[in-house]
Amino acid sequence: METAEIARRFLSFFEKNGHTVVPSASLIAEDPTLLLVPAGMVPFKPFFLGQRTPPYDTATSVQKCIRTKDIEEVGKTSRHATFFQMLGNFSFGDYFKEKAIPLAWELVTTPVEDGGFGIDPDKLWVTVYLEDDEAERIWREVVGVRPERIQRMGMEENYWSMGVPGPCGPCSEIFYDRGPEYGAEGGPQADENRYIEIWNLVFMQYERGEGGDKTGFPIIGELPKRNIDTGMGLERLASVLQGVDNIYETDIIGRVLRRAAELTGTRYGDDSDQDVMLRVVADHVRSAVMLVADGVKPGNEKAGYVLRRILRRSIRNLRLLSGSDTAFLHELTAVSIDAMKDIYPDLLDKADVIHGVIDTEEKNFAETLRAGTALFGRVAERTRAEGGSVFSGSEAFQLHDTYGFPIDLTLEMAAEQGLSVDESAFRELMQKQRETAKADARAKKLGNADISLYAQLLEGAGATDFLGYSDSRSESRIKGIVVDGAASPAAREGERVEIVLDSTPFYAESGGQLADTGTLSVDGRGLVDVEDVQKPLPGLFVHRGTVRSGEIALEDTVHASIDTDRRHAIERSHSATHLIHSALRNALGPTAGQAGSENRPGHLRFDFTADNALGGERLAEVEEEVNTVLARDIEVQTQERGLEEALRMGAMAMFGEKYGDRVRVVEMSDYSVELCGGTHVPSTARLGIVKLLGESSIGSGVRRVEAAVGADAFRRLSRESALVGQLSEQLKTPREELPERIDAMVSRLRTAEKEIERLRAAQVLQAAGSIAEGARRHGSALVVAQAAPEGTSGDDLRKLVLDVRGRLGEDEPVVVAMTAVPKDRPVVVIAVNKAGQKAGVKAGELVGVAARVLGGGGGGKPDIAQGGGSDAGKVDEALRAVEARVASA
Ligand code: SER
């Protein structure tokens, strides 16, 4: 039975039984506790909780779902999918167990010709929750299931909730027995692979509180009514009714799978690793299509990241399968849309958009891979040239960190080149990075003290009154002192302190604007240098610094004073950031959202989302726009407004940021309107000049521009102008002609380098004839064992050895072992001809013998192998050891 037909039958069965057919909701959940919809009941949750009155008492739906918790299992088991459809029937205070159970049984077992699914009751088992006597009784007495076919299971299996506070209840599940070839006899309790769950009937009756995912949470009360929520995985049922082994082979997913095999030149069923990859591709492409159709765009966060991850996993698997970097996603997307269009006709209308989004992501990822692969190639070549066989952990880490290479990709590519990867060093670096990130976050947020200490300070002192929008000085009172992570009544000269005041002119770092620095002085008694100010809790300003002289104590009155020059320089950067943000949006459209920023004196950094690089020309346009606008000397106005009003005005807000009801809006006429808590220049001409310093990528989809502002920008320009003058003089070329002149020089240099390289290689190979003549007999083999001419590189050594082996022919066993010492480290390459290999001589083994003498390691295949070591003085000894080993073979 086709998947689409299964869905039709399900809906029409329940429609006939009085249910309203409700179309699937979008995959993007409206529920704030979820990113994406993971179950059929999600759109109905407010009805279960009694928060909204349903327009119907009973309903049925086929709901689109995404679950990525077990993404690593996809393709490996018979039933894990990232996208799937859940068939369900729901009762909102209407019928309960007594009707839900017989209805389910009826649909599953009614013969196909009578509109059911026609499953033989002999193949079915059911489970009920430990204490649910009522459900068991209905199964036995009303439906007539044999008692030995009913099993009781605990909370983990037979109690359902969304994993978070909300509706929940005991459940009862129907299982299908796939037969003895899939596992042990004994029902679902014995083997969940043989007996697969096809339908979950949840008796939604209670509300749960905080606690574990599936167990260990309190029941906090009864729902206003007793409800029914059932869920049947459409793909799973299709695999049963279509008699195939797993969901990936069903009619819809199977089409994508088969096409993926054709395109990549593989055969499904030939190789279990390949089969897993094909299933992953088939599943993921379909999920991507459905996510994009519902409006998700690839990104680095939330649903966007889910989409990006599955697309990248698909691309990577396709590359591994095909051994090429051909872009296959377009074609597979088309197949997937075609396979799903009967159930989701809107996919046809959206096909162009879906292709556009997926094609772009594939192109971008290809670029990431290309850049990473180039680095990989350089490192691999260097490793070999130095005679090593281990790809360094730090470079594997760089590939991961900068290029987004998963470690298994690096492992695979290294293996293809006969290299291993220093995985433990890689993991150590990963661990270190994680710890640094954690420590950074901790240091930043908490300083030395525990958050509970700050909570006490906030409770005792109340929120700090921030005076810094208008004042640079204040008379304030010390309300808290922290020394070494503990509250203290006073602090003395030389001590590092954290100080809480009742009011302050100091801006605490936030919204990308760095904190003010300055001093706190207590008349005639003490002086504190303030180096940083943070808000570990909303409203609590913590001044960090050192007591420079004297002593300070709680309740002292202090003169707080900020470094105003520094503050003004920071303000110039911050206002410039707003202008750049607007100019970027004008250039790229509203998708260029702010992803982070840092405003420090004279310099700013602005991160924004964009799929592609802006490029020099557009960057220049953005810069020009910013400087033109700022020269108009626009007054910068700040006002408090209601959040809704501000958003109506078109104020740009940081994506994902939470704002209160009242917000501060910073306006530079209507050119820039932003929600912002920072401080700014009074008018834009104060910025003087803004110089963009360039653009870079800081991770997929996020780009960074940096700029110098004011006097710093001028100094930079002036320095660069002097530099160009100097170059012009050195090269005796007018300034405008410098680029061509340098181009010509570089290209001449390249040609010359290539020529030198060619001559050197020719010289090395010229030696091959005389080296071959130096072959001596050891045992039954003809052996060359000598050092290569001075200056031979690792790569040339390999060529030379192969050349010499070729010259000695195949009439008898030949072993060529040669060494070179590029970059002070000895390298040995050994080649054995076919006759030699037949006689049992293996290049890999011989390299082991030589490398041990050289104090290193190496390996390779029987025909050619390479190794190295650290002791260049032992080259001769190593070659003699190889001869001796061949002689004794
Ligand atoms: N909510 C239950 C599940 O997802 C039944 O629909 O399994």
Of all protein residues, whose CA lies closest to atom 7 belonging to ligand 1? 231
Position in ligand 1 atom list of the atom nearest CA 162: 1
User: Is residue 680 annotated as involved in ligand binding?
Assistant: yes
Residue 824: both structure tokens together: 């002070």
For a mutational test of ligand 1's pocket, the pick from 79, 91, 129, 230, i.e. the residue with the most ligand atoms closer than 8 A to its C-beta, is 230
- Same-domain check for residues 379 and 267: yes
Kindly report the CATH number assigned to the domain that includes residue 124.
3.30.930.10
Position in ligand 1 atom list of the atom nearest CA 232: 6
Tell me the CA–centroid distance for residue 175 and ligand 1, in Å. Answer: 15
Tell me the CA–centroid distance for residue 238 and ligand 1, in Å. Answer: 18
Output the pTM of the full model. Answer: 0.53
For a mutational test of ligand 1's pocket, the pick from 22, 36, 41, i.e. the residue with the most ligand atoms closer than 8 A to its C-beta, is 41
Of all protein residues, whose CA lies closest to atom 4 belonging to ligand 1? 39
3-state secondary structure of 17: coil
For residue 618, being part of any structural domain is answered with yes
Tell me the CA–centroid distance for residue 20 and ligand 1, in Å. Answer: 19
Of all protein residues, whose CA lies closest to atom 2 belonging to ligand 1? 231
For a mutational test of ligand 1's pocket, the pick from 92, 156, 157, 160, i.e. the residue with the most ligand atoms closer than 8 A to its C-beta, is 160
User: Is residue 19 annotated as involved in ligand binding?
Assistant: no
- Same-domain check for residues 780 and 869: yes
pLDDT of residue 447: 45
3-state secondary structure of 111: coil
Tell me the CA–centroid distance for residue 6 and ligand 1, in Å. Answer: 18
Dihedral over Cα of 868, 872, 876, 881: its sign: negative
Position in ligand 1 atom list of the atom nearest CA 202: 5
For residue 80, being part of any structural domain is answered with yes
How far is the CA of 573 from the CAs of 620, 688, 703, in angstroms?
Answer: 18, 11, 18
Q: Are strands 420-421 and 390-391 parallel, antiparallel or unpaired?
A: parallel
- Same-domain check for residues 800 and 821: yes
- Same-domain check for residues 273 and 391: yes
Q: Are strands 124-129 and 150-153 parallel, antiparallel or unpaired?
A: parallel
- Same-domain check for residues 384 and 418: yes
Q: How many domains does the chain have?
A: 5
Boundary of a domain, candidates 402, 436, 470: 436
- Same-domain check for residues 16 and 106: yes
Distance CA 19, CA 4 (A): 19
Position in ligand 1 atom list of the atom nearest CA 88: 6
For residue 649, being part of any structural domain is answered with yes
Distance CA 885, CA 889 (A): 6
Kindly report the CATH number assigned to the domain that includes residue 489.
2.40.30.130
Of all protein residues, whose CA lies closest to atom 5 belonging to ligand 1? 231
Tell me the CA–centroid distance for residue 88 and ligand 1, in Å. Answer: 8
- Same-domain check for residues 256 and 240: no
Tell me the CA–centroid distance for residue 446 and ligand 1, in Å. Answer: 41
User: Is residue 574 annotated as involved in ligand binding?
Assistant: yes
Position in ligand 1 atom list of the atom nearest CA 38: 4
Residue 296: both structure tokens together: 């998700």
Tell me the CA–centroid distance for residue 450 and ligand 1, in Å. Answer: 41
Residues of the chain whose pLDDT is less than 70?
A: 32, 300, 436-452, 654-660, 699-700
Q: Which domain holds residue 221?
A: 3-245
Boundary of a domain, candidates 224, 245, 266: 245
Give bridge partners of residue 58 from the DSSP assignment: 91
Position in ligand 1 atom list of the atom nearest CA 40: 6
For a mutational test of ligand 1's pocket, the pick from 201, 229, 236, i.e. the residue with the most ligand atoms closer than 8 A to its C-beta, is 229
- Give the helix, strand, coil percentages of the chain, each rounded to 5: 45, 25, 30
- Same-domain check for residues 405 and 461: no
Neighbours of 812 (CB within 10 A): 14
Tell me the CA–centroid distance for residue 225 and ligand 1, in Å. Answer: 18
- Same-domain check for residues 223 and 262: no
Boundary of a domain, candidates 227, 245, 263: 245
* Burial status of residue 147 (CB atoms within 10 A of its CB: 0-12, 13-18, 19 or more): exposed
Position in ligand 1 atom list of the atom nearest CA 39: 4
Tell me the CA–centroid distance for residue 306 and ligand 1, in Å. Answer: 22
Tell me the CA–centroid distance for residue 730 and ligand 1, in Å. Answer: 76
For a mutational test of ligand 1's pocket, the pick from 22, 31, 34, 86, i.e. the residue with the most ligand atoms closer than 8 A to its C-beta, is 86
Phi, psi values for residue 91, rounded to 5°: -125, 130
User: Is residue 65 annotated as involved in ligand binding?
Assistant: no
- Same-domain check for residues 239 and 265: no
Q: What is the pLDDT of residues 768-816, one digit of tens each?
A: 999 999 999 998 999 999 999 888 888 889 999 999 999 999 999 999 9
Kindly report the CATH number assigned to the domain that includes residue 872.
3.10.310.40
- Same-domain check for residues 322 and 362: yes
- Same-domain check for residues 230 and 257: no
For residue 744, being part of any structural domain is answered with no
What is the CB < 6 Å shell around ligand 1? 39-41, 88, 160, 200, 202, 229-231
- Residue type at 576? A
184, HSE (Cβ side, Cα atoms, 13 Å): 6
Tell me the CA–centroid distance for residue 71 and ligand 1, in Å. Answer: 19
Kindly report the CATH number assigned to the domain that includes residue 634.
3.30.980.10
Tell me the CA–centroid distance for residue 842 and ligand 1, in Å. Answer: 60
3-state secondary structure of 47: helix
For residue 675, being part of any structural domain is answered with yes
For residue 755, being part of any structural domain is answered with no
For residue 737, being part of any structural domain is answered with no
pLDDT of residue 440: 53
Of all protein residues, whose CA lies closest to atom 3 belonging to ligand 1? 231
Q: What is the DSSP string of 705-760?
A: EEEEETHHHHHHHHHHHHHHHHHHHHTT--GGGHHHHHHHHHHHHHHHHHHHHHHH
Distance CA 558, CA 573 (A): 30
For a mutational test of ligand 1's pocket, the pick from 22, 202, 214, i.e. the residue with the most ligand atoms closer than 8 A to its C-beta, is 202
pLDDT of residue 300: 65
Tell me the CA–centroid distance for residue 5 and ligand 1, in Å. Answer: 21
For residue 320, being part of any structural domain is answered with yes
Of all protein residues, whose CA lies closest to atom 6 belonging to ligand 1? 231
Report the run of H or E that residue 271 belongs to, with start and end: none
β strands within 118-179, DSSP E: 124-129, 150-153, 159-161, 166-177
